[in-house]
Structure formats: structure tokens, C-alpha cells
Structure 1
């Protein structure tokens, strides 16, 4: 069985094919970073237009790479949401039309379920149940994952997500776009203890996140520094420490609340090395284990959509002929 996956939720066009026996047999990814860099962030209309230019080309590339013909594709999976409405409509329109022309079913995939299931593409994969920390540019949430589709949201961001806070703070520091990875790199040169940023919402019960205040705290700290490279590095270090500590505190609470010994971490921020190191220590102390997707599957990609589409296809999910996109789509609305 071969499932073609299409990811167009934001600023990356990802196409991949998942085979039931072999796993991912072909994939291609195009990033729009250069397109949006001069604007300091994603411009939705430009993102949509670029998806239109790239989706069909990458699909042809992946088919050639895999050696498969359209007749050998059993279903086409596409990201239905959440994400930018225009970008989602490109993938939904192309995916649904492609499935119709090839005479195979179409399967709609939830973007965050794709991230959540990405670690299952690895040889060392977690068994259910587990706690999932999903951290990306648009989402930060903790999920009790009992089975495929059986998700209970334990906590989520009430304002800026972790990745969004990284990018906005990096922009304040003049680090360019995308700012998150650049801020993390600069933080390596920072000196511990120079600044102490708050750990938001850790002094009260609960598992929700709030990172917008850290951005404001960083802005105020920037105004009082001399603007040197070392001063910026010190602020980056303190900011990253605060975000990582907050994520770790909430993960520990979620594990204590559920009693689970397995933690899955996915999404773009899951590639952060300080976060990985901290969570590895946390799980070692708890005699548990943490699971990640490989770095190339941390950010948006077609492979995670192809795999999630395969799981949904096996579950009997099928799309009608109508073309739908859901820019807002709560994860806990998915059926088991």
C-alpha cells in the first residue's frame, strides 16, 4: 500500500510517499524562507502562490524518485488544517483533485496529528499511551495520547506559542528570519546568570502555556543593554533558558498527572538541542524515555502527512468530493 502525502499548511511545500512495508520511500521539501525573509515573516498570499507553483512539480519529482506510477498510489492524503487558509486550500484542492483523477480515495489529515505521529516513523518508536509535547511556530500543547485519535489536550498556549515567541524575540534583536534557530545559536555564546527571565505560569497549577510576556520582558531588557553582540547573546541565553525550563516543568507535571513513562516531543522547536538535553535528563531521572522524530521530520514535511494519512486510511477515513480547509481545527475533535 502506498500513500501520497501533501503538506502546504504554511511556508513549506512537502510531498512524500509512505509504503506500508518500507516506510517513506520518497520525499521532497521546498522551503519558502528566502521568499519571506525580506518581510521578516510569512506573507500568506505569497505563501499560497508559491505552493501553487511547487506542489505539482514536487509530486512529479517524488513519483520519479520512488519509481511508482499514479496507478500504484492507493490514496492521497493532504493537510486540511490547521494553518493558513490560502495555503491549506492549495493542498486540499490539489490533493482532492489528484485523488479524483487517479481514481483513488482522498484522506484529510490534521497537521498537528501529523507532528504527533512523526516519531512513529522511526525504528525506535513509542507504544501507546504517552504524553506528547507539540511545540512549533503556531502551537504549544501537551496531549494525553491513549491511542490513535484518542487525544485529550492537557494544556496549550493561551497566547504566543513557544516557536512564535522565539521568532518574535529574534526579530526584536534584529536576527532576521527565521529567527528561532538563529536565537538558539546566539544563546550558545551567552553567559549564564547575567539575566533572569520569568518562567510564565509555573507558579500556579495547570498545564497551559503563555510566552507573550517573555517577549515583552526581552524587549524591556534590550532597551537597557548596550546592544553589543555579547549583550545580545546574554539576553538570548536567558530567554531560551526561560522557555526550555517552562516546557520542562510542564512536561514533568503532565507525566506526574498521567503516570506515563513515555514522552513524545515533536514540532519545529523539538529540534532545539537544549530542550532535547533537558528532557533526556528529566526522563532519565523518572526512569522513562523520550522519543523524537529525526531532525528533518521536526519541521513541516510531507512524510508526516503521508504516514498520518496511512493511519487514517487504515481507519476507514475518506473525504467526500467537496474541498474543505480548516484553518482552526481542535486536535481533540478527531475521531478515534
Structure 2
């Protein structure tokens, strides 16, 4: 296998229609994203049926733009990569049908790719990953600690038992009457607030790497309800800061402990919530104090995009693990089972 192969990668797992051309698993030649945020914000969250329809409307145009910006044609491509899961089944199907059609028409290999593997290997587009390493995955639907013993090998050592971090942020934002997506509003308020309302931390068992945020969400709602019952004025900034401080404290402490106990060489931050300024700052400061190498992708590669899918798919390209055209969407696709052989 050469290092100059061009992979066309497609990502449609949720509410972004994205197509990218990636060279050698490391170089982004083009990375086009059509966001649906304005469509879904009026509903306070992603509506699966609407998301699927928007993907159908956008996929061809986004693909054409990605090829145009890369300055390549279909004939220059080496393989087609696509997100197989996890995600919304209807949304995934749009990308999968497009990828299968291309692979069949162009007689190119098809590489089914794991969405979370993409988030993790987004770091490889800008950094050199050393093994063993630990990835802290924080997104709208996922909160996990993943051990990477070697390239393309994934072992989940901790995960949320209820809400993912992104879900908790959105629910708290709705309680504070902020529009969707709520995470950036909470982050901004927390960073600007002068006061702070202290909230509980869910550490779970002493040796556990798992997370739980439903109790924290309930604690936020209790503060809001108590303030209303007393006829007081809610300090949204102080509450946002207390919520974010609690979330970040648990994420940082468990991630640092995992790095230490597993003897990892690096900590990788990944996922949409990796764009959170408070989390990035806290994790950076703590890793500097502990002498731990921290990899954080740029903001453009934190949220869903297709370049990250191209980076992860390249792992399968190198090992010659291609996918049958009979492949189906897998909303609950296992990260560990997707590992490179």
C-alpha cells in the first residue's frame, strides 16, 4: 500500500452531511460540511426523519464540492469510506447508499468506518499518536474512556451509565431556556460567570472509570425549582459554572487516573464536546502539571466531519480490511469489534 492513496469519506450519522478527500490517512485535501443546526434548533434537538431528508437533499452537492475543492475526479480515488455506525439509522443509510453506489460504479474498495474511531483518529490529522494511549471521548451521544494499546486497537475501559456529556449539556441548557445546541451557551456563561453554585460530583465506585451525569442534571433542576418557589432571581451564570465545573472535574480526574494506571504515553481528547473551552483549558492545565502529553484536535475537527472518517478508514485500508456491498447501517456498532485485526 502506498501513502498517497486518496480516500473519499462520507459522514451522515446525525445532522451534518459531510464529505472529505483524505490523502494517506493524514492529509486533508478537502473537507466539506453542510450543517442542519438551523433546521433542528426550532425543535430543540435533532429530528431523525428531518435529518435523513436533509442528507438526501445535500449529499450529492456536498460530494461534488469536496471533489472540486480537492481538485480531483472520481478516477483519482483509491477507496470509498463511510460511517456505518453508531448514529441515527435513517441518516446513516443515506451515506451508506451513496458510498455503496460509488464503490460499485467505480469498482473501488468500500470501507465501513466506526464514528467514534473517527473522532479518536481526528487527532492523527494534526498530531503523531504514540501507543499505548488513552482517548477521552466526549460528544452528544457518547462519553467514554478508551485504551489504544496499538494502532487501530480499541478497548473501552469506562463509559456513561446514563446521559452522555453532550446530552447533559443540552438538557441543562433547555432548563435554562437556551436554544439548541445548548452546550456553547453553557460554556460561554460558565467562562464569564463571577459566582458559582456548587453542585455534586458522581464518582461511582473507587476503581470505576464509568461516568454518570443524570444526578447532576437533577441537581441543576432542583436549584432552578427551589429558586422559583422562593420567588428569587436565578443566577444562570453561577449555575452554568457550577454545572460545568462538576462535569469537567470528573472527566479530568478519571482521564488522568486512566493514563497513570495504564501507563499510557498520551491522552487524546476527542468528540464534539472537545470544543468546550472550559474542558480544553482544564485538561491542558492539568496535563501540563502532571507532565502528560495531551493531544487536542482543532475546533474544526472536534464536531462531526468526514476527514476524521477518512483518517480512521485508512487504518483498515492499510490492513486490507474492506467491506462487502451487503453491509448494513449499524446504529449500535461496537467500537471494540471494529478494531483493526
TM-score range, shorter chain: over 0.9
Is the CA contact 2:26–2:124 (under 8 Å) kept in the aligned structure 1?
Answer: no
Name the CA shift for 1:295/1:21 in 2 (closer, same or farther; >3 Å).
closer
What TM-score, normalized by structure 1, do the two folds share? 0.96
Task: Measure the CA separation in 2 of the matches of 1:84 and 1:335.
Answer: 21
State the match for 2:165 in structure 1.
162
Conservation of the 8 A alpha-carbon contact between 1:261 and 1:286: no
Counterpart position of 1:225:
227
Tell whether the 8 Å contact from 2:173 to 2:183 is kept in structure 1 after alignment. Answer: yes
- 2-structure distance, mates of 1:75, 1:172: 45
Give the stretch that moved more between structures: 295-304 or 149-158.
Answer: 149-158
Match of 2:187 in 1: 184
2:270 and 2:296 in contact (8 A); partners too: yes
2:305 equivalent among 301, 305, 321 = 301
Matches within 5 A, 1:136-285: 136-192=139-195, 194-201=196-203, 204-225=206-227, 231-285=235-289
Cα distance in structure 2, aligned partners of 1:283 and 1:306: 29
Q: CA deviation at 1:334?
A: 1.8
User: RMSD of the alignment, in Å?
Assistant: 1.6
Structure 2 distance, partners of 1:228, 1:307, is 51
The partner residue of 1:74 within 73, 78, 85 is: 78
Counterpart mapping for 1:324-335 below 5 A: 324-335=328-339
SS in 2 for 1:88: helix
Structure 1 spans left out of the alignment, 5+ residues: none
State the TM-score, normalizing by the size of structure 2.
Answer: 0.94
Judge conservation of contact 1:93–1:323 (CA < 8 Å) in 2. no
Q: 3-state DSSP class of the match of 2:149?
A: strand
Separation in 2, partners of 1:104, 1:140 = 34
CA distance in 2, matches of 1:223, 1:260: 44
Residues 286 and 103 of structure 1: CA distance in aligned 2, closer, same or farther (over 3 Å): same
SS at match of 1:248: helix
Cα pair 1:202 1:249 within 8 Å, conserved: no
Return the alpha-carbon distance in structure 2 between the equivalents of residues 223 and 22 of structure 1.
50
1:65 is matched with 69
**1:319 pairs with 2:328:** no
Mapped pair 1:14 → 2:18:
yes
Deviations 1:275-298 (A, max 9, x none): 111111221222121001111000
Distance (whole Å) between structure 1 residues aligned to residue 215 and residue 167 of structure 2: 12
2:96 is paired with a residue whose SS is: helix
Cα gap change, 1:49 to 1:243, in 2 (>3 Å) = same
Secondary structure of 1:109's counterpart equals strand
Q: Which residue of 2 aligns with 1:54?
A: 58
CA 1:21 to 1:277, structure 2 compared with 1: closer, same or farther past 3 Å? closer
Provide runs of 4+ in structure 1 moved above 4 Å.
226-230
The gaps in structure 2 that reach 5 residues or longer are none
Question: Which residue of 98, 105, 114 maps to 1:101?
Answer: 105
Shift of residue 22, structure 1, vs aligned partner: 7.2
Partner SS state of residue 225, structure 1: helix
Whole-Å separation in 2 of the counterparts to 1:2 and 1:261 = 30
Distance 1:228 1:72, change over 3 A: farther
